[in-house]
């Protein structure tokens, strides 16, 4: 039984992850305080919180990035800990230090670990020095004046990446020398805009790789375990869409090797709390990609196959509790897949969409879990990331999980803004995906998945007629009584 050094946790996030954290916090008998911008006042997280505190900012995102206001909210509410979720301030070492300096617990790794492993350049140098595999690369910080020359020496194709941040922002693939200088400048500009840090590095781009990541947990005693791997290869614009565990690409020997390397990296870094070590994998070889020093969006697939509540473990570790189990105690049972529900139009280049939530009916059933932070009446705006919900399905094996996914996607109702639900259903039925033969360029290689088939002519005519009848002139014309009949007055035969 955990003896909690805090009885209230402030959740410094929004949407589905705020609600997901809240549920575990309250299940443990702790109070949950949720901060929110006015746009999120109707969200389920705000509705279910023990206390909700509104944040103000020049933009909605700025409100969630105001670390001082969040710490003030924690103090005023009596919170003893802050959980940052993912995104926003979750990997901000300066914020983590402010939280600790304020006498609060930061539900995550130490600020020093965020500094080391959250910075891609420092993390790569650390991992390489520790003897773990990294892809050939060149780092701008080593000598900015020779960066372009050293990048050329790495060889093409190249992947340009920002030293700070993630989510695909600032990343560029370059296949020949001509565009390199211009792409470096564009990547630097984008990295500066999104992360306030324009530093770059390049690495050899592995064509058609798979993206494998390993969940790790570490406690204050230095004990580290891995919770096996997730595959996140189905992506658009370097951003994940589908994640699953276990990976259909790995045999037992490779799985053991990549998971042990991930745990070894975390141990070498003295890592505490939850984190994810990411790799690129192809032809039996893998290279360190980066480490995410936070809870991942896709953490539910690990929870489904291991039975371990990762948020509960984060809270226990932050409270000073040891993990209490060994690596041999962690086992995988069955298969789980997560589908990210986005407010976007895949057929139009994955363009974000907006609109009010008019009707909402998530699927349910055996092996079906929905993590969602929406309610009817809320507006989906362009102010935040377009992810609305996560559908997580599990089964005895991948085949059963896919069958449950198809059924659940067909039942998922979310009306008011366009979503990628139909796209995900086409994806889950695609023979290459069903075979598990995917890679990070899968969607580029199969544009038919994003393309939307036109409706049958008869259906199109009905839709056009229904739309026409919604216009005032058409309704007036339909309701009008012809003059010949109007002249008859009230006469009846």
- Only one residue has tokens 């999980």, namely 401
CATH fold, domain 136-204, is Dna Ligase; domain 1 (3.30.1490)
pLDDT at 491: 58
Helix (H), strand (E) counts: the chain: 19, 23
Give the C-alpha distances (Å, rounded to integers) separating 314 from 106, 115, 307, 433, 482: 10, 19, 15, 33, 73
Q: DSSP strand E in 17-157: where?
A: 31-36, 51-54, 81-83, 105-106, 137-139
pTM confidence score: 0.87
| Mean pLDDT, contiguous 10-residue spans, the chain (493 residues) | 92 98 98 97 97 96 97 98 96 97 98 93 92 88 88 90 75 91 90 83 87 98 98 93 98 97 98 97 91 97 98 98 97 98 96 96 98 95 95 98 98 96 97 97 95 85 84 76 66 58
The rounded distance, in Å, linking the Cα atoms of 400 and 131 is 40
C-alpha atoms less than 13 angstroms from C-alpha of 470 in its C-beta half-sphere:
6
- DSSP per-residue letters across 272-318: -EEEEEEEEEETTEEEEEEEE-S--TTHHHHHHHH---HHHHHHHHH
pLDDT of res. 298:
98
Domain regions of the chain by residue span: 8-107, 136-204, 210-449, 458-493
* CATH number for the domain formed by residue range(s) 210-449: 3.30.470.20
Fold held by 8-107: Rossmann fold (3.40.50)
For 254-276, b/e burial (b = at least 16 CB within 10 A) is bbeebbebbbbbbeebebbbbbb
**Residue 254: what pLDDT?**
97
Q: What angle do CA 287, 224, 99 make, to 5 degrees?
A: 100
Cα–Cα distance for residue pair 278/289, rounded to 1 Å: 5
């Amino acid at each position: 039984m955990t003896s909690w050094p805090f009885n209230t946790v402030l959740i410094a996030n929004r949407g589905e992850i705020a609600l997901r954290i809240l549920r575990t916090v309250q299940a443990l008998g702790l109070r949950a305080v949720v901060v929110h911008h006015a746009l999120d006042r109707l969200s389920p997280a705000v509705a279910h919180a023990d206390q909700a505190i509104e944040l103000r900012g020049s933009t909605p995102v700025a409100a969630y990035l105001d670390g001082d206001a969040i710490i003030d909210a924690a103090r005023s509410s009596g919170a003893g800990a802050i959980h940052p979720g993912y995104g926003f301030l979750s990997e901000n070492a300066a914020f983590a230090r402010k939280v600790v300096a304020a006498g609060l617990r930061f539900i995550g790794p130490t600020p020093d670990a965020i500094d080391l492993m959250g910075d891609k350049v420092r993390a790569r140098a650390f991992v390489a020095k520790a003897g773990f595999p990294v892809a050939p690369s060149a780092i701008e910080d080593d000598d900015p004046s020779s960066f372009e020359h050293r990048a050329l020496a790495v060889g093409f194709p190249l992947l340009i990446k920002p030293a700070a941040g993630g989510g695909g922002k600032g990343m560029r693939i370059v296949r020949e020398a001509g565009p390199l200088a211009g792409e470096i400048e564009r990547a630097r500009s984008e990295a500066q805009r999104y992360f306030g840090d324009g530093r770059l590095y390049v690495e050899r781009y592995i064509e058609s790789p798979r993206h494998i990541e390993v969940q790790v947990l570490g406690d204050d005693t230095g004990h580290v375990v891995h919770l096996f791997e997730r595959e996140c290869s189905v992506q658009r614009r370097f951003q994940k869409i589908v994640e699953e565990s276990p990976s259909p690409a790995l045999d037992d020997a490779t799985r053991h090797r990549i998971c042990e390397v991930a745990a070894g990296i975390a141990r070498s870094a003295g890592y505490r709390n939850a984190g994810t070590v990411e790799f690129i994998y192809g032809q039996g070889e893998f290279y360190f990609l980066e480490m995410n020093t936070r809870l991942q969006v896709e953490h539910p697939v690990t929870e489904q196959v291991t039975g371990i509540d990762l948020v509960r473990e984060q809270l226990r570790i932050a409270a000073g509790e040891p993990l209490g189990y060994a690596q041999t105690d962690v086992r995988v049972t069955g298969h789980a897949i997560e589908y990210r529900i986005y407010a976007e139009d895949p057929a139009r280049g994955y363009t974000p969409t907006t609109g009010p939530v008019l009707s909402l009916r998530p699927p349910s059933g055996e092996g079906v879990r929905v993590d969602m932070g929406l309610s009817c009446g809320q507006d989906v705006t362009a102010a935040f990331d377009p992810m609305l919900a996560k559908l997580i399905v599990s089964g005895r094996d991948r085949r059963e999980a896919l069958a449950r996914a198809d059924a659940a996607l067909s039942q998922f109702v979310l009306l008011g803004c366009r979503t990628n639900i139909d796209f995900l259903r086409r994806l889950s039925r695609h023979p290459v995906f069903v075979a598990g033969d995917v890679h990070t360029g899968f969607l580029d290689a199969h544009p038919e998945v994003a393309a939307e088939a036109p409706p049958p002519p008869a259906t199109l005519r009905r839709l056009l007629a229904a739309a026409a009848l919604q216009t005032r002139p058409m309704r007036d014309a339909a309701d009008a009584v012809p003059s010949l009949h109007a002249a008859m007055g009230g006469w009846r035969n």
